[in-house]
Amino acid sequence: MSNDEDDSEGGRVRRASGARHPVSDPVCFSSGDRQIDGWALNVSGGGLRAIVDDPVEVDEHFEVTLGEDAPRPARVVWVREERGGSILGVAFTDVEEGAAPPDEPPPSPGD
């Protein structure tokens, strides 16, 4: 499996964070007194993609706990509202500069 992906101009770029791995693990997003539970859909060295019931906004910062792993600081980089919840991508903020964030959101139906 390659760690390369297309850039916006059709070229290939090397993903510094490694390959994305599909998962189905519980994930918890914590910030102060706020806690949001959800399910991780995929994870890489640079971040993860998850589904949650509660609303979140781009640029929100959380401590993210995936399964039994230690919490990691992260920032929401995209959100796609769905019926009954949101799919979101978060980038871990404790990784080296240049690590790729999680998948961009898939296009909404009708786009």
Range of the domain at 82: 18-92
Distance between CA atoms of 44 and 49, rounded to whole angstroms? Answer: 9
Evaluate whether residue 65 is within a structural domain.
yes
What's the mean pLDDT in 67-83?
95
Q: What is the CATH number of the domain that holds 67?
A: 2.40.10.220
Q: CA-based Rg of the chain, rounded to a whole angstrom?
A: 14
Evaluate whether residue 102 is within a structural domain.
no
CB 88 within 8 A of CB 75: no
What's the mean pLDDT in 73-93?
95
Number of domains, the chain: 1
Which pLDDT score, from 0 to 100, does residue 15 have?
44
Evaluate whether residue 38 is within a structural domain.
yes
Distance between CA atoms of 92 and 65, rounded to whole angstroms? Answer: 11
Evaluate whether residue 11 is within a structural domain.
no
Evaluate whether residue 25 is within a structural domain.
yes
pLDDT in tens, 1-26: 344 443 333 433 334 456 889 999 99
